Structure 1
Amino acid sequence: MKQLLNAITCNEPKRLIKPVFWNALANLSNLLPFLCLAYIVSQIYEYFVSGTLNRTSLWVSWGVMLACFVVTWIFENIACKLTYRDGFMASADGRIKLAEHIRRLPLGFLMSRNSGEIGNTVMNDFSRTESAMTHILPQIISGAIMAVIASVVLLIADWRMGLAMFAGFPIALLIMFGMRGLERRLDTQLSQTRVNQAGKLQEYLYGMRIIKSYNMQGDNFEKLKKACTDYRDACIKVEGGIGPLNLVAAAFLRSGLSLMTVVGVFLVTGGTLTVPDFALFLLVGTRVFDPLAVAIMNYSELMMCGMSGERICTLLDEPEMAGSGDAPNEHEIRFDHVSFGYGEKEVLHDVSARLEPGTMTAVVGPSGSGKSTMLRLIARFYDPTSGKVLFGGADEKDMEPEKLMKNISMVFQDVYLFQDTVANNIRYGKEDATQEEIENAARLANCYNFIMQMPEGFDTMIGEGGSTLSGGEKQRISIARAILKNAPVVLLDEATSSLDPENEAEIQQAISRLVQGRTVVVIAHRLKTVVGADGILVLDQGRIVEQGTHEQLLTQNGLYAKLWNLQTSTEGWKIN
């Protein structure tokens, strides 16, 4: 039970104390009117037996019943507020905590996981634990407390009736515990189909341009349709597999009420149980069964909520990137016998290189040679599997990733902009930037003019991912973001590889302003853009095969010279 509570509350079971306490008080106060009712029945019975009636005690009983209704309303009101407030706060705090944790995980871990799986954990699994904390756990625990107290009272009143009342409870418990394996299997299948459905829907929407342009609607829609029907079948399987067993367990539990009635009749007719005591069991016993029946019917849902909590805790337990030190003020970057791979496939093999501070180093080579991987290692999106990446002479593994990234600006080939204003997208480079600083960065990035032509200027909302802007516009806003950050190290990942000549000229000017006086590492397919680099590293199949300036590499007549000759020979290529 402790493990279940920890899973559902994300290791904060103390949040349940107040809601459970007030729900228990509400349930107990709700039981008192039935005790008063049993007393009233006993007085009426006494009247028919002896002809005397204590009207004062009856009025007191009625007054207590009325007071209990008022007190119950007060307790339930308090319990409701605490339950929902704490439950929703725990869920919101948990999502924020998990999102912050995910941000600190190695990029390699995130790339190896299905985005739909992580999204399912953040949204659906938290929704289920939220439901458990607001609708299931407080009611079950407080109901169980009330049932235990009432049961003790009834067992003291007459142990035979008490035993008869709970005769079916052990069988109900056995059925509930026997269902746990089935529940885990069904919930795992349900979670997998939910993740698959979300992934297929995302793929269908994101790939709509390709689907339409190649007339692939039917095939791709069938994949989405199958994912939806699989999820439907999994939901039906869960309800069809678990629901009947819950009903059987509840039936065994409630069978105690019938057995208690039979035993009570025999005891009353045998003279060993009074009619008022029998009435007490009938009236109070039904109130004991209600919360227990609710607990049994919600037990399976609670177990599945626990499995959702386990998935959340598993993701929270993923180790964050190590390191707590500051980044040095020096900005030399050095690869010391670095090897790295994605999974089992090694991409870089024993790479050693020194990138001087204040210089521009270009990394070139065929596709798949490991160029982008080198940049990702510098930015510490990953840690090398062997060797060291040194920043200012210190191992990056010893640095806190955020402190390292304060020294690095990156401009990617595929720019992602957030669904926010233009100003806020630029402000990601510096959260406390003034409007004047944002506009100056936009001017330096050659994007001020087209921003001012937008309907609301810098306050114009950008579509998700930058969908409302052209590739060149997105690229220039990302450069403005990097200029605003003003980091001493700049990493450029093929920032102009897929742009038209006009946009490329604009962006080259912006990049020239960005890199002034900084340590720059640039990946480029177009070798003409890096002719003036202070040094060029030539990668092939994960190894540095050549390095030097443009002129030095041409005289070596190696891979770089071959790539240069290929590009210059195809400059006049055209479609006939």
Structure 2
Amino acid sequence: MIRMLLRVLGDEYAKPMRRTVALMTTTAVVEGLLYVLLVPVLRALFGSTPSDAWPWLIAFAASVAVYAVLRYTSDLSGMRVGTTMLRGMYHHLGEHLARLPIGWYNAGRVGEVSVMASRGLLAAMGVSAHLLGPFISACVTPLTIIVVVTAINLQLGLAALVAAPLVVAIQVWTARSMAANDAENTQRSNEASARVIEFLLAQPVLRAGGRSSERFSLLDDALQGVERSSRRQTLSVLPGAVGMTLTVQAVFTTLLVLGTYLALGGGIGVAEILTILVLAARSADPLLSLADISGKLRGARAELDRLDKVLRTEPLPEATRPVRPQQSDLEFDSVTFRHGDRVVLDGMSLSVPQGLRLAVVGPSGAGKSTLLQLLARFYDVDAGAVRVGGVDVRDIDPEVLMAQTAIVFQDVYLFDGTIEENVRLGRPDAGEAEVRAAATAARLDEVVERLPGGWATNVGEGGAQLSGGERQRVSIARALLKNAQVVLLDEVTSALDPANETAVHDGIERLMAGRTVVMVAHRMRTVQRADRVVFVSGGQVVEEGSHDELLRRGGRYADFWNISLSPVGSE
């Protein structure tokens, strides 16, 4: 468990964690040894001069004070290590997630990562802050007490020692019986979380279909699955808990009977018998709590296993000697890219000279957006190479590549903060005048002026307080402020009303000026602003040229253009 925790957390926390474990173990040993002083105390009390017990009582009190200090220090150390690890772990997980390929984030990852970022990281803190101390005490203190009992009387010590293998056997048996149920319960919980999110997102569809008052059957089934798995998990714990209780009571009864027999036979004194019974009773509490603590540790370990699995996921490799491109021309050299079993790009080759605008046109699923994602290195190609300024993107430092690339997506996500904070994401160190200039160029200033809070207006989670066109203007202003040499546009106007579309087009024109641009075009009139056009189908470039040239050829592109001008396809 400790090794797993340290592997998940990294070497940075190894020393403080080992120091905390050593301190907790010392505290547990001192607690067990503390009861040795009961022997002289009881001997004096049952002897001819009870007042002789006072020095031993004072020594006992001093030992209790030492134990209290150790216990406070070890608990405080565990809490500090836990909170420090939690803070560091959030940074560690966040940095790792930011380096994973976009393809890793499939539909089920969002709920899984959100649960992991809460329960998984809190489990790591809980182990060191709340569970580790009691677990070490429950294991070490009884063993120390057995050593003390053995020192007092060998026969009683050996009788008490019988409990050790029984306790271990019960713990192993319980762990095995719970393992399958733990995995099933986690799976059911993740499924239920996903269904809750689905239920919330599906409200417009459910209400439009007149089913707003009905129960969502998929969610009900998922919650019933959680209930069944939780019940099985609870039932799997009961045999171990009952077995532990019976074992502890049986060993205590054995010590009581054996101690009485030895006392009646004169083999041991009354003071020693009373001490051993007190020690046996004192051992019962931590042993009985061991089942509960072990169950919580197993749950924490399961969370840590999932966290460890994510942290072991290989990010995109980084070049040992990164190269900084000096130009902004773009090239796809015989690129093949697969998504699962599907070939998205099949040996595609194309180039974009520096400062030119390339429009990518084609049917849905042709791989148009994939081109942008490969240029931004959201994925790595399976064969061939993607180059920026003649340098393979795999040989460019990711931060340098991102600094030289501005991306505007069709679906804009804004962080919960002010408009200005979202614009400044493009270049956090930009001056106020630069931010205002970028906003004016994107016609965002028009939006800011009519908002009650102006620049301090909070956009809400995802930008929910703004319209789609307003979010696009924030995104364009952010890209303008970044002032990157390569601009990637994934048709940003296809869902906008005419007024917003005009404003966004003006901002896009300013953004593209003098830069190397690749734009995925869904609306055909956007293509007319490009210097060159490629028509993509089946993962390959099937036509290439200027807008006018492709119309004269009368091929696939011309068909697309004619459809766009028809009453059904017109804008």
TM bracket (short chain): over 0.9
Is 2:491 the partner of 1:501?
no
Instruction: State the partner residue of 1:309.
Output: 304
Query: How far did 1:120 drift?
Result: 2.1
Instruction: State the partner residue of 1:45.
Output: 46
Q: 2: distance between equivalents of 1:281 and 1:196?
A: 52
Query: How far did 1:557 drift?
Result: 0.6
Query: How far did 1:220 drift?
Result: 6.3
* Distance verdict in 2 for CA 1:8–1:149, change over 3 Å: farther
Instruction: State the partner residue of 2:346.
Output: 349
Query: How far did 1:187 drift?
Result: 1.1
Query: How far did 1:188 drift?
Result: 0.8
C-alpha distance after superposition, 1:229-287 (max 9, x if no partner): 32233222212211332331242134211111111111111222222221221122322
Is 2:369 the partner of 1:372?
yes
Equivalent residues in 2 for 1:83-102, closer than 5 Å = 83-102=78-97
Q: 2: distance between equivalents of 1:434 and 1:254?
A: 74
User: Structure 1 stretch 217-226 or stretch 453-462: which is displaced more?
Assistant: 217-226
Amino acid in the other structure paired with 1:547: E
Is 2:152 the partner of 1:151?
no
Query: How far did 1:10 drift?
Result: 6.1
Query: How far did 1:571 drift?
Result: 7.5
Equivalent residues in 2 for 1:18-417, closer than 5 Å = 18-31=19-32, 34-47=35-48, 53=49, 55=51, 57-111=52-106, 113-217=108-212, 221-324=216-319, 325-417=322-414
Q: 2: distance between equivalents of 1:159 and 1:75?
A: 30
Q: 1: distance between equivalents of 2:289 and 2:299?
A: 16
* Distance verdict in 2 for CA 1:71–1:289, change over 3 Å: same
Query: How far did 1:227 drift?
Result: 2.0
Secondary structure at the aligned position of 2:355 is classed as coil
Kept in 2, the 8 Å contact 1:101–1:316? The answer is yes
Match of 1:558 among 532, 555, 569: 555
Amino acid in the other structure paired with 1:187: D
* Distance verdict in 2 for CA 1:572–1:308, change over 3 Å: closer
Provide TM-score, normalisation by structure 1: 0.93
Amino acid in the other structure paired with 2:562: N
* Distance verdict in 2 for CA 1:8–1:527, change over 3 Å: closer
Counting matched residue pairs gives 568
Instruction: State the partner residue of 1:50.
Output: none
Query: How far did 1:224 drift?
Result: 2.0
Q: 1: distance between equivalents of 2:570 and 2:383?
A: 43
Instruction: State the partner residue of 1:429.
Output: 426
Kept in 1, the 8 Å contact 2:31–2:141? The answer is no
Is 2:481 the partner of 1:480?
no
Amino acid in the other structure paired with 2:427: K
Q: 2: distance between equivalents of 1:14 and 1:306?
A: 20
Secondary structure at the aligned position of 1:390 is classed as strand
Amino acid in the other structure paired with 1:86: V
C-alpha distance after superposition, 1:319-370 (max 9, x if no partner): 1111231431211111111111211011111100011110000001111111
Instruction: State the partner residue of 2:449.
Output: 452
Q: 2: distance between equivalents of 1:316 and 1:97?
A: 9
Q: 2: distance between equivalents of 1:343 and 1:552?
A: 36
* Distance verdict in 2 for CA 1:8–1:185, change over 3 Å: farther
Q: 2: distance between equivalents of 1:468 and 1:237?
A: 45
C-alpha distance after superposition, 1:194-232 (max 9, x if no partner): 111111111222232232222233566232232223223
Kept in 1, the 8 Å contact 2:536–2:543? The answer is yes
Match of 1:539 among 532, 536, 541: 536
Secondary structure at the aligned position of 2:335 is classed as strand
Kept in 2, the 8 Å contact 1:168–1:255? The answer is no
How many percent identity over aligned positions?
31
C-alpha distance after superposition, 1:357-413 (max 9, x if no partner): 100000011111111111111111111111111111121122232221111000000
* Distance verdict in 2 for CA 1:573–1:375, change over 3 Å: closer
Instruction: State the partner residue of 2:526.
Output: 529
Kept in 2, the 8 Å contact 1:417–1:462? The answer is yes
Query: How far did 1:453 drift?
Result: 2.4
Q: 2: distance between equivalents of 1:151 and 1:8?
A: 35
Secondary structure at the aligned position of 1:469 is classed as coil
Query: How far did 1:493 drift?
Result: 0.2
Kept in 2, the 8 Å contact 1:19–1:79? The answer is yes
* Distance verdict in 2 for CA 1:290–1:310, change over 3 Å: same
User: Structure 1 stretch 113-122 or stretch 426-435: which is displaced more?
Assistant: 113-122
Kept in 1, the 8 Å contact 2:377–2:393? The answer is yes
Kept in 1, the 8 Å contact 2:458–2:465? The answer is no
Provide TM-score, normalisation by structure 2: 0.94
Q: 2: distance between equivalents of 1:7 and 1:358?
A: 48
Secondary structure at the aligned position of 2:381 is classed as coil
User: Structure 1 stretch 260-269 or stretch 564-573: which is displaced more?
Assistant: 564-573
Kept in 2, the 8 Å contact 1:466–1:474? The answer is yes
Kept in 1, the 8 Å contact 2:360–2:521? The answer is yes
Kept in 2, the 8 Å contact 1:197–1:228? The answer is yes
Secondary structure at the aligned position of 2:366 is classed as coil
Query: How far did 1:98 drift?
Result: 1.0
Q: Which structure 1 residue ranges, 5 or more long, are not aligned?
A: 48-52
Q: 2: distance between equivalents of 1:293 and 1:187?
A: 22
* Distance verdict in 2 for CA 1:572–1:226, change over 3 Å: closer
Q: 1: distance between equivalents of 2:14 and 2:177?
A: 26
User: Structure 1 stretch 64-73 or stretch 495-504: which is displaced more?
Assistant: 64-73
Query: How far did 1:83 drift?
Result: 1.3
Q: 1: distance between equivalents of 2:244 and 2:79?
A: 29
C-alpha distance after superposition, 1:120-179 (max 9, x if no partner): 222222222322222212221244333333322221221210111232332221121123
Instruction: State the partner residue of 1:568.
Output: 565
Amino acid in the other structure paired with 1:103: A
Q: 2: distance between equivalents of 1:147 and 1:264?
A: 18
User: Structure 1 stretch 24-33 or stretch 482-491: which is displaced more?
Assistant: 24-33
C-alpha distance after superposition, 1:42-83 (max 9, x if no partner): 112222xxxxx052x322223233333433333332222211
User: Structure 1 stretch 260-269 or stretch 116-125: which is displaced more?
Assistant: 116-125
User: Structure 1 stretch 299-308 or stretch 59-68: which is displaced more?
Assistant: 59-68
User: Structure 1 stretch 507-516 or stretch 78-87: which is displaced more?
Assistant: 78-87
Query: How far did 1:25 drift?
Result: 4.5
User: Structure 1 stretch 494-503 or stretch 143-152: which is displaced more?
Assistant: 143-152
Q: 2: distance between equivalents of 1:219 and 1:343?
A: 37
* Distance verdict in 2 for CA 1:156–1:8, change over 3 Å: farther
* Distance verdict in 2 for CA 1:241–1:13, change over 3 Å: farther
Q: Which structure 2 residue ranges, 5 or more long, are not aligned?
A: none
Kept in 1, the 8 Å contact 2:45–2:53? The answer is no
Amino acid in the other structure paired with 1:124: R
User: Structure 1 stretch 487-496 or stretch 519-528: which is displaced more?
Assistant: 519-528
User: Structure 1 stretch 159-168 or stretch 556-565: which is displaced more?
Assistant: 159-168
